């Protein structure tokens, strides 16, 4: 039962992100990670 509730929560979170940012969860994470890496290189 907990697995189903978890999947529903993840689906709702993904739907919310797509509606507001146009990106799915994995796309948002990879974008933020790329920004982090570019900032890290800029600070050197």
pLDDT by residue (tens digit) across 1-44? 889 999 999 999 989 988 988 888 888 889 999 999 998 888 76
Does the pTM exceed 0.75?
Answer: no
Q: What was the pLDDT predicted at 28?
A: 84
Q: What was the pLDDT predicted at 40?
A: 84
* Residue of 3, 5, 31, 28 whose CA lies nearest to 17: 28
Q: C-alpha angle 3/1/10, rounded to 5°?
A: 35
Number of other residues whose CB lies within 10 A of the CB of residue 14: 15
Q: What was the pLDDT predicted at 6?
A: 92
Report how far residue 24's alpha carbon sits from residue 21's, in angstroms, rounded to the nearest whole number.
Answer: 8
């Amino acid at each position: 039962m907990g697995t189903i509730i978890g999947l529903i929560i993840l689906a709702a979170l993904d739907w919310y992100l797509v509606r507001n940012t146009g990106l799915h969860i994995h796309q948002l994470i990879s974008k933020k990670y790329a920004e982090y890496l570019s900032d890290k290189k800029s600070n050197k």
